[in-house]
Chain A
Amino acid sequence: MNVLSEKVLGGKQGALHLAILAVLLLVILPLCLDLFRLGLIGKYVTYAFVAISLVLLWGNGGILSLGQGMFFGLGGYCMAMFLKLEASDPISTKIQTTPGLPDFMDWNQIVELPWFWEPFKSLPLTLLLVLVVPVLLAFIIGMAMFTRRVGGVYFSIITQAIALILSILIVGQQGYTGGVNGITDLKTLSGWDIRTDSAKYCLYFMNAGLLILCIMLSRFILTSKFGMLLLAMRDKEERVRFSGYDVARFKIFIFCVAAMISAIGGAMFTLQIGFMSPSFVGIVPSIEMVIFAAVGGRMSLIGAVYGTLLVNFGKTIFSETYPELWLFLMGGLFIAVVMFFPDGLAGIYEKYAPHCSFSMLRARWLKKVPKVTGERQ
């Protein structure tokens, strides 16, 4: 049990950093910010799920997926489909030609609920599908690519293409998916109104709690032999293969875990923001999320969370004043990080923090103590 907690928390230093993040997200920010600003933080935290999935996949495994948005989006869509069905009860949709169907289906002359919407009538099944659908897609992509040893830049380009295809598919099938507007007007979760202030607080805490759980799960993976093998595969894939490991299986597994973590973020996004649209599925959001992870530090789970929060803060502030400059600024930021700080904020912290952190002060203090006792003897 002790070993497990050690692994999940990542040692003393890791536990401390996780505790600081937890206090910041769960205590300090809710106390300091009004509900509107806290809602923004909640939104950024859902992106942080994707950023930590990229730390696993890209930072540690060397597999750069430029399509994580599709898993975020699929998780979000699964959640949105359940909420939409609940919001489309026959009474509130009685002005439609076919009451009881989601409004966008009615506009597109669809008179019967499509088969793939049926499972989303049940909440337990929906929660399951939020995880299963993205993992299944990741498994299929992983099987097709990793067993054929497609890697490196080819993998990145193909994932990007798949993300693009998925977003085009969603936009094109308006009657089944809500098209470019996405799935909107979401109201209740099993009768619980998610638009009230208390629900928003509740969802915010749930979201932050889930993020911390996902960090702990990722820590467990990274501190195990699996984590060491990820680094080894990034360095010398051939050597791992010729040491008796089936490299493809390891890659498929981590790709599926990354998809699952991203999907949780997507589902929480839908719940907190109240809609899901194809603009969170395609290339641009997928690449933005890589930038969040890169700025925070692609090797650091906690760093990636801070990176996501900071870049999004910057985005909110800058895009209010100079909306047209923001994309250039973000591109520049990405180039600067890759060129000068390849390990991101976490790398800078690790380089400079040991000289002034309190662990150093404590070490100095501990050195003094034996001196004192020495004098006494």
Chain B
Amino acid sequence: MNPTEFILTIEDLTVSFDGFKAVDNLNLYIENNELRVVIGPNGAGKTTLLDLICGKTKATSGSIKFKNTELTRLAEHQIVRTGVGRKFQTPSIYENLTVYQNLEVSYPEGRSVIGSLFFTTTPAVKERVTRIADEIFLTESLHQQAALLSHGQKQWLEIGMLLMQDPELLMLDEPVAGMSAKERDLTADLLNRICKNRSVLVIEHDMEFVKKIAHKVTVLHQGKILAEGSMEKIQSNETVIDVYLGH
């Protein structure tokens, strides 16, 4: 296969913590506009995988290529600037700022020290903030302090902060954790909408939710890929049932 077809190409990726291989010789390919879900039991290396892609953890060996840029050698903020966005497992937002400010501060301009000192909020920024706030169901709370949002709303806000940056690859670590059934449905709609012109990589445990969004599912187990394919294929896979889904 020609690697340029993929937005993200991970080959022979290994990370070892004092001899323990959290990710072990992993190969993963993600296509343009694909929504991929990674599932697997606790300790399978799912979050570590995201940490490796976004530069939070440095790989022991192997390569991560994003549109022909090698990510393993870049600093975190440089990786973000190439177009990779990442949402953390626990909602990670600026509690002391308003929803509006949370979104505005994530706008990808004025990213240098001097740039940020002289950054002015243009109508284009305002327009983007209002549009994204609408997309993440927070129009009504726009001027509320972010600390006062519900847990689910905080998850949406963090997704919104990433959308402000318009990343080509969006990585979400358990986006519906702690959400009500209704919020989960809304989030599934949201993800289906936002993966139209970007690739999305989601880690999730909730199988009902995975069914609603996944184009393709990858099962991780002990740092290795156990199975990969459509949701139906995965659900009928004997080994996956044994180690993860259960009988």
Cβ–Cβ < 8 Å partners of A232 in chain B: 94, 97, 105
A205 CB within 8 Å of chain B: no
Nearest CB to that of A241 among chain B residues? B76
* Cross-chain contact of B165 among A238, A243, A246 (Cβ < 8 A): A243
* Cross-chain contact of A243 among B80, B112, B119, B120 (Cβ < 8 A): B80
Interface pair B117/A226, CB less than 8 Å apart: yes
Count residues of A near B (Cβ-Cβ below 8 Å). 25
Q: CA of A374 to CA of B68 in the docked complex: distance in angstroms? A: 70
Chain A contacts with B in 218-232, Cβ cutoff 8 A = 220-221, 224-226, 228-229, 231-232
Count residues of B near A (Cβ-Cβ below 8 Å). 33
Interface pair A229/B92, CB less than 8 Å apart: no
B104 CB within 8 Å of chain A: yes
Interface pair B111/A244, CB less than 8 Å apart: yes
Q: CA of A220 to CA of B118 in the docked complex: distance in angstroms? A: 10
Interface pair B101/A241, CB less than 8 Å apart: no
B144 to chain A, nearest CB (A): 16
B153 CB within 8 Å of chain A: no
B161 CB within 8 Å of chain A: yes
B88 CB within 8 Å of chain A: yes
A250 CB within 8 Å of chain B: yes
Q: CA of A24 to CA of B161 in the docked complex: distance in angstroms? A: 44
A236 CB within 8 Å of chain B: yes
Chain A contacts with B in 61-88, Cβ cutoff 8 A = none
B4 CB within 8 Å of chain A: no
B106 CB within 8 Å of chain A: yes
B181 CB within 8 Å of chain A: no
B54 CB within 8 Å of chain A: yes
Interface pair A245/B96, CB less than 8 Å apart: no
Known interface pairs A239-B158, A242-B80, A245-B77; 19 further A-B residue pairs with C-beta atoms within 8 A, sorted by A's residue number = A3-B120, A224-B119, A225-B105, A225-B110, A226-B117, A231-B94, A235-B95, A236-B94, A238-B56, A239-B93, A239-B94, A239-B161, A242-B76, A243-B105, A244-B81, A244-B165, A246-B77, A247-B77, A250-B113
11 contacts between A and B (CB under 8 A): A220-B117, A224-B117, A226-B119, A228-B104, A231-B94, A232-B105, A239-B158, A241-B77, A242-B86, A243-B80, A244-B80
**What is the interface of chain A, defined by CB distance below 8 A to chain B?**
3, 220-221, 224-226, 228-229, 231-232, 234-236, 238-239, 241-247, 249-250, 253
